[in-house]
Each structure stands twice: as structure tokens, then as C-alpha cells.
Amino acid sequence: MKPRHKGSCLCGKVHYEITGECQSLYLCHCHRCQKGSGSVHGANLFAQDASLTWIQGAASVTTYHHPGTLHVRSFCRHCGSALPSVDDRSGWVTVPAGSLDTPVPISVTAKIFTASRGEWVKSADEAPSFDALPQSEGQ
């Protein structure tokens, strides 16, 4: 039986299911993924011969194709959360790891486009860590 993975967006309007194996998980530091995520890197699982089913909220999914590239990003039009997409030509399903509600099934394959990694991220290695919001902040 093929493995099943479930996910959803932040506002809960969109729910999906992926049926099939995930082959790789890439942390992509390219400029497009920085813009799309507003963060350090994209984190996407790739699944060949897998199927994507929208369980709920398919009409709320918007897909952006960056002109002249293979870069595609699907998201919920209500809350902006990243959602899976299917490449029409290759059939590969791309799944944002953070959108899954079931455990991420594989470990990170590689960090890619690290030459584009933001300079500011390097200071994160020395910054202190807190399990939750620190008491001195945001009260």
C-alpha cells in the first residue's frame, strides 16, 4: 500500500492528501524561495509517481508560475500558506514540508543554492534560543 501524507493551510480552509513515496527533501536558499517564503529558505519534498488530492478547499488554492522559469508556488488565497503543486510536464509533486500535518517522512537530502543564502542568516548561529516567546519580549 502506498504511503499517505496529509496537510493543510494555516486558516484550515484547504486540506490535501499525497499518496506515494517522497524521494527527496531540499532546503532551497535561492532568491525566489526567499521571496516566496519571506524567510531563510524554501523546504520542499519532491514525490514522483505520487498523487495530490484536494480533500477540501481546492477553489482557495492559487498557483503562481514565475515567468520564464520552472519555479511554481501554490498557496491559500485566504491565509497565504504554501501548498503542494504538480509539475504538468514531469508529474513531480512538490510538497512544502511545513504544510504537512502528518510527520515529514524523510530527512533532508541537501541544502541547495547556498551561494544565495542571506548574509543575515549567518548571525542566527550566535543568537540565543528560547523554547517559546521569551518573557522580556512581546508582552
Residues that bind Zn ion (CB under 5 A): 9, 11, 13, 28, 30, 33, 42, 76, 78-79
Contacts of 1 (CB under 8 A, 6+ apart): none
28 or 43: CB nearest Zn ion: 28
CB 15 within 8 A of CB 8: yes
Nearest to Zn ion of 30, 104 (CB atom): 30
| Residue among 3 and 63 whose Cβ is closer to Zn ion | 63
Phi-psi region for residue 118, left (φ > 0), alpha (ψ -120 to 50) or beta? beta
Q: How far is the CB of 106 from Zn ion (least distance, A)?
A: 18
* Inter-residue contact 134 to 41 (CB < 8 Å): no
Closest separation in Å from C-beta 53 to Zn ion: 17
| Shortest distance (Å) from residue 76 CB to Zn ion | 3
Comparing CB distances to Zn ion, the nearer of 42 and 96 is 42
> What SS3 class is residue 121?
helix
Least Å from the CB of residue 28 to Zn ion? 3
**Sign of the dihedral defined by the CA atoms of residues 69, 48, 7, 110, in that order:** negative
